[in-house]
Structure 1
Amino acid sequence: MTDSLLEGFERALADLCADDAVRRSESSADDAAARQWSAIDALGYTDALVPAELDGAGLSLADAFPLFLAAGRSGLSHPFAETAIARAMLAKAGRRSEGECIAIAPCSGATQITCRNVPGAALAELVLTVWRGEWLLLPVVAATHVPGIYRPHASASLQWQSADAAIFRFSDGEPDILALCNAAHAAGMAGAMQRVLAMSVTYVNDRQQFGRAIGQFQAVQQELSVMAEQASSAVFAARIGCAADGYVPDPLRAAAAKLRACEAGQRVAAIAHAVHGAIGITEELALGLFTRRLHEWRSVAGSETYCATLLGEAVFAQDAASGHAILDFARTQLAVPA
């Protein structure tokens, strides 16, 4: 990802994802969300992972990571990273994009297909899931909706009566759907934490108490340093989670990225609201737009418990097989090759 391409995307996001625009897109007042997505999709970045021979940019997941980070940092309400990954998978399977916004989510159910608490599902047109070993592309309008917990007008739990609702099906045993979600969510969370940190730094430099900015108080500086450390580690972990030559992330790296992002997200949100005080929960301040997403991403797809269990089982399996210590596991299984 060259600097010029990333800068162009960030400039467009700055115009399209101003705080008021994000609030409108997450309300049910008008068609603001659809118009916002149409403008985002027209930029062409949503086809970043689609192979060049299929009219895409042909980038790898590692190359596209700065785009996912920028989308999370800007406050884009739609599932941008998921759409980019889904379009690459669908292009490989023979389906060309028609400009749709696509969420990716695991499902459950023996006869009915249920996707719970899908980030951005109320703003998406399609959901890509895997059911009984087959990938299904399901239209959101054909599902029963239950509003999301954290963003009731943007996210939703969806249920389809059967797989007959799918408008496209294909078989692809390579991607792990939870790994796809973990990599995408970790990148979005890392970007959101960068934005929360920037907002907090600006606030403590502007807010006056006892005749000076509260950012000059040592206690506040300590809290901000912890927040910066957590946000930076989440960005580093998310980059590792997206370290792949194609569009399919490594499940262990993606789990490590999501776990670190979840742990960091909880602390970043808590510190940000502590620093802002009561004003942090008001609608006038955009802080809540980002902290709600951090908590939402923490609760969906690969949860902290799932990711920690996956990594723990892998550590014990390696230790039993070779006697290697946990440091060797991190070095051999999680580190990105040069």
Structure 2
Amino acid sequence: MTSETDPVFEAALAVLGDHCQPHSLAAWEAGDMPQALWRDLDETGLLSLLLPEDAGGIGAGADTFAGILRLAGRLAAPGPLAETCVGRWLTHAAGLPVPAGAMSLSLDGNEAPGGADTETLGVLTDGGLVLLPAAGSTQRRNLAGEVRLSPAASNLRPTALPAEQAARARALVSLGRAAMMLGALDRVLVLSLAHANTRVQFGRPIGKFQAVQQNMAVLAGGVAAAAAVVAAAARDVDAGGPGLLLAAARARLGEISVEAAGIAHQVHGAIGTTREYELHFHTRRLSAWRAEQGTPRAARRLLARRFAGAPAGALWETLLATG
């Protein structure tokens, strides 16, 4: 994924790092709109990350997109950041006026992330793209307190899209959500390491105990493996791959998110569940996003069907193509 010295990453870190502080998380979850954050994201061009430069965007690829979304997940940035970036690119590709402000994108009429005063909800189906006012959507909040939108029924005729554009939009949405999960895992690991190295029991930090060290090694290894497959999936999206690496990323992230939450809360003990401490904001997001991503079992089934359908003698080549 994109280097942390990349100018686009540095701009995102400056904006997100300034606004996404631990004390802000509870306020956002309670319903305060992060208007200043989204204004600054728009003014720096980060909401137009995927738009081509001749359309006023940055023209970033999937690799940079995934790096920015990983950072956003690490800092628990609120609102449909991935969907706004993909939605702006898709509306431009469809020849439609690019909506201003926050935008979300529903795949096949399923729930889509909301919040941040979302103004437009795009619905992408096999028939094309329909743009609806977000105000007409049904809203609920997920386990992490985030707004989720269900699009209202519409008689509007979809704007037809070339198959490759629709496929890329779907892949980018999936990649963005995977990168957000990876960022949340990053933060869970950092918080757990810091607590293990500072919490003293029986005269020494708990991180010195072998059982805790073993759990932390499992957590760190799981996050590293997830980072590797998400990075590979980003490259595959830019190459127009068949989506197998995205399925592998969903499977790996779904598995490690459950394991990471268990280890992190075990290491932290009671403090990890308190409202005042930061950890639960990230572990609840991981739990909610895991369900929204599709279960690891479903992703493994998709991969199994692909491998089972490989020509005789070509299983190894299929595995290599998957990464």
Q: Normalising by the residue count of structure 1, what TM-score does the alignment of the two structures yield?
A: 0.86
Moved more, 41-50 or 240-249: 240-249
Q: Does 1:226 align with 2:227?
A: no
Q: Deviations over 1:171-224 (max 9, x none)?
A: 232233653332111111111101110011111112111121111111111111
Query: Which residue in the other structure is 1:331 paired with?
Result: 320
User: How far apart, in 1, do the equivalents of 2:270 and 2:280 lie?
Assistant: 12
* Structure 1 partner of 2:66: 65
- Kept in 1: contact 2:35–2:116 (CA 8 A): no
Residue 183 of structure 2 is aligned to residue 191 of structure 1: yes
Work out which of the residue numbers 271, 290, 299 in structure 2 matches 1:298.
290
SS in 2 for 1:299: helix
User: Where does residue 173 of structure 1 map in the other structure?
Assistant: 163
Matches within 5 A, 1:40-55: 40-55=41-56
Indicate yes or no: 2:258 matched with 1:269.
Answer: no
Q: Which amino acid aligns with 1:278?
A: A
Alignment of 1:136-175 (within 5 A): 136-145=130-139, 147-152=140-145, 154-164=146-156, 169-174=159-164, 175=166
CA separation in 1, counterparts of 2:241 and 2:295?
Answer: 17
Would you say 1:284 and 2:273 are equivalent positions?
A: no
Q: Is the 8 A contact 1:192 1:290 kept in 2?
A: yes
Structure 1 SS opposite 2:34: helix
Describe the shift of the 1:157–1:102 C-alpha distance in structure 2 as closer, same or farther (beyond 3 A): closer
Q: Deviations over 1:32-61 (max 9, x none)?
A: 323322222222122121111211111211
Total equivalences in the alignment = 318
Distance (Å, rounded) in 1 between the aligned partners of 2:275 and 2:155: 40
Shift of 1:283: 0.9
SS of the equivalent of 1:322 reads coil
1:127 aligns with 2:121: yes
Contact 1:128 1:137 in 2 (8 A): yes
Q: Secondary structure at the match of 1:11?
A: helix
Aligned pair in 2 of structure 1 residues 245, 225: CA closer, same or farther (>3 Å)?
closer
Judged with a 3 Å threshold, the aligned counterparts in structure 2 of structure 1 residues 303 and 138 are, in CA distance, closer, same or farther, namely farther
* Structure 1 unaligned residues grouped into runs of 5+: 108-113
Residue identity over aligned pairs, in percent, reads 29
| TM-score under structure 2 length normalisation | 0.89
Q: Contact 2:80–2:116 at 8 Å: present in 1 too? A: no
Rounded to whole Å, the distance in 2 between the matches of 1:203 and 1:123 is: 36
Q: What's the CA shift for 1:232?
A: 0.9
SS in 1 for 2:268: helix
Picking from 107, 110, 115, the partner of 1:115 is 110
SS at match of 1:89: helix
Q: Check whether the contact 1:186–1:261 (CA below 8 A) recurs between aligned residues.
A: yes
CA distance in 1, matches of 2:192, 2:10: 23
Q: 2: CA distance between counterparts of 1:42 and 1:50?
A: 14
What's the secondary structure of 1:160's corresponding residue? coil
> Which one is further off, 173-182 or 221-230?
173-182
Please report the RMSD computed on the Cα atoms of aligned residues, expressed in angstroms.
2.3
Q: Are positions 1:238 and 2:241 aligned together?
A: no
Q: 1:245 to 1:204 in 2, by over 3 A?
A: closer
Partner SS for 1:77: coil
Deviations 1:67-109 (A, max 9, x none): 12111111102222222122111111123434322223323xx
Partner secondary structure for residue 292 of structure 1: helix
Equivalent-residue separation in structure 1 for 2:106 and 2:249 (angstroms): 18
